[in-house]
Protein backbone atom coordinates (compact mmCIF):
# COMPACT_ATOMS: atom_id res chain seq x y z
CA UNK A 1 0.00 0.00 0.00
CA UNK A 2 1.19 3.46 -0.94
CA UNK A 3 -0.41 6.61 0.39
CA UNK A 4 -0.59 10.17 -0.95
CA UNK A 5 -1.58 13.13 1.22
CA UNK A 6 -3.16 16.09 -0.58
CA UNK A 7 -2.72 19.02 1.80
CA UNK A 8 -2.59 22.80 1.95
CA UNK A 9 -3.37 24.88 5.05
CA UNK A 10 -5.58 27.20 2.98
CA UNK A 11 -9.17 26.35 2.15
CA UNK A 12 -10.25 26.50 -1.47
CA UNK A 13 -6.86 25.50 -2.87
CA UNK A 14 -8.23 22.50 -4.78
CA UNK A 15 -7.35 19.69 -2.36
CA UNK A 16 -10.60 17.77 -2.79
CA UNK A 17 -10.63 18.24 -6.57
CA UNK A 18 -7.09 16.93 -6.83
CA UNK A 19 -7.69 14.05 -4.38
CA UNK A 20 -10.82 12.84 -6.19
CA UNK A 21 -9.21 13.09 -9.61
CA UNK A 22 -6.08 11.29 -8.42
CA UNK A 23 -8.25 8.54 -6.93
CA UNK A 24 -10.10 8.18 -10.23
CA UNK A 25 -6.80 8.01 -12.10
CA UNK A 26 -5.44 5.18 -9.92
CA UNK A 27 -8.73 3.27 -10.10
CA UNK A 28 -8.88 3.60 -13.90
CA UNK A 29 -5.33 2.19 -14.06
CA UNK A 30 -6.61 -0.96 -12.36
CA UNK A 31 -5.24 -0.14 -8.90
CA UNK A 32 -7.26 -0.94 -5.81
CA UNK A 33 -7.87 2.59 -4.53
CA UNK A 34 -9.18 4.08 -1.30
CA UNK A 35 -10.08 7.73 -0.85
CA UNK A 36 -9.65 8.78 2.79
CA UNK A 37 -11.53 11.97 3.66
CA UNK A 38 -10.18 13.83 6.70
CA UNK A 39 -12.23 16.98 6.16
CA UNK A 40 -15.29 17.31 8.39
CA UNK A 41 -17.26 18.62 5.36
CA UNK A 42 -16.65 15.22 3.72
CA UNK A 43 -16.69 16.67 0.21
CA UNK A 44 -14.68 13.74 -1.16
CA UNK A 45 -17.24 11.26 0.09
CA UNK A 46 -20.09 13.34 -1.34
CA UNK A 47 -18.28 13.26 -4.70
CA UNK A 48 -18.14 9.47 -4.49
CA UNK A 49 -21.89 9.28 -3.89
CA UNK A 50 -22.46 10.91 -7.30
CA UNK A 51 -19.76 8.96 -9.13
CA UNK A 52 -20.98 6.67 -11.90
CA UNK A 53 -21.05 3.11 -10.49
CA UNK A 54 -20.00 1.79 -13.91
CA UNK A 55 -16.56 3.36 -13.40
CA UNK A 56 -13.68 1.58 -11.70
CA UNK A 57 -14.36 1.08 -8.00
CA UNK A 58 -12.98 3.40 -5.33
CA UNK A 59 -13.45 2.66 -1.65
CA UNK A 60 -14.02 5.71 0.50
CA UNK A 61 -14.26 6.47 4.16
CA UNK A 62 -14.23 9.30 6.66
CA UNK A 63 -11.18 8.87 8.87
CA UNK A 64 -11.69 11.72 11.31
CA UNK A 65 -8.49 12.12 13.30
CA UNK A 66 -7.36 8.49 13.20
CA UNK A 67 -5.55 8.24 9.86
CA UNK A 68 -2.61 6.18 11.09
CA UNK A 69 -4.91 3.58 12.59
CA UNK A 70 -7.28 3.34 9.63
CA UNK A 71 -5.26 3.20 6.40
CA UNK A 72 -6.34 0.03 4.60
CA UNK A 73 -3.40 -2.29 3.97
CA UNK A 74 -5.20 -4.12 1.14
CA UNK A 75 -5.34 -1.06 -1.12
CA UNK A 76 -2.70 -0.40 -3.77
CA UNK A 77 -3.14 3.37 -3.30
CA UNK A 78 -4.71 5.45 -0.54
CA UNK A 79 -5.37 9.09 -1.38
CA UNK A 80 -5.84 11.24 1.71
CA UNK A 81 -7.86 14.45 1.34
CA UNK A 82 -6.67 16.69 4.20
CA UNK A 83 -8.74 19.45 5.77
CA UNK A 84 -7.77 23.12 5.56
CA UNK A 85 -5.67 24.33 8.46
CA UNK A 86 -3.83 21.05 9.00
CA UNK A 87 -0.72 21.87 11.02
CA UNK A 88 1.39 20.99 14.04
CA UNK A 89 1.44 17.50 15.51
CA UNK A 90 -1.40 16.22 13.33
CA UNK A 91 0.41 17.27 10.17
CA UNK A 92 3.62 15.69 11.45
CA UNK A 93 1.79 12.42 12.19
CA UNK A 94 0.20 12.37 8.75
CA UNK A 95 3.51 13.08 7.03
CA UNK A 96 5.05 10.08 8.80
CA UNK A 97 2.15 7.89 7.65
CA UNK A 98 2.14 8.66 3.91
CA UNK A 99 4.65 8.07 1.12
CA UNK A 100 3.98 11.19 -0.96
CA UNK A 101 2.60 14.68 -0.40
CA UNK A 102 0.97 16.89 -3.01
CA UNK A 103 0.40 20.56 -2.20
CA UNK A 104 -1.98 22.29 -4.64
CA UNK A 105 -1.27 25.98 -4.98
CA UNK A 106 -3.58 28.84 -5.83
CA UNK A 107 -2.16 31.59 -8.05
CA UNK A 108 -1.67 34.86 -6.23
CA UNK A 109 -1.98 38.37 -7.60
CA UNK A 110 0.88 39.38 -5.29
CA UNK A 111 3.30 36.95 -6.90
CA UNK A 112 2.20 38.01 -10.39
CA UNK A 113 2.72 41.71 -9.67
CA UNK A 114 6.06 41.06 -8.02
CA UNK A 115 7.28 39.12 -11.04
CA UNK A 116 6.08 41.89 -13.38
CA UNK A 117 8.27 44.48 -11.68
CA UNK A 118 11.52 42.65 -12.48
DSSP tag of 100: E
Buried (b) or exposed (e) across 29-66, using 16+ Cβ within 10 A? eeebbbbbbbbeebbbbebbeebeeeebebbbeebeee
Other CB atoms within a 10 A radius of the CB of residue 2 amount to 13
Question: Is CATH 3.40.50.80 what the domain over 2-116 is classified as, yes or no?
Answer: no
Give the number of residues written for the chain.
118
Reading the chain (118 residues) residue by residue, the pLDDT tens digits are: 899 999 887 778 889 999 999 999 999 999 999 999 988 888 899 988 899 999 999 988 887 766 555 677 789 999 999 888 887 878 888 888 899 999 988 776 665 555 555 5
Contact between residue 111 and residue 34 where contact means Cβ atoms under 8 Å apart: no
The SS3 call for residue 114 is helix
pLDDT of res. 114: 55
pLDDT of res. 113: 57
Q: Which of 82, 83, 74 is nearest to 33 (CA)?
A: 74
Amino acid sequence: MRAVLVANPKGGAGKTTLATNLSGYFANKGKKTTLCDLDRQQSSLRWMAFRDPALAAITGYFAGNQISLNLPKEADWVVVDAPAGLQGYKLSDYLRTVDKVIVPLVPSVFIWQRQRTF
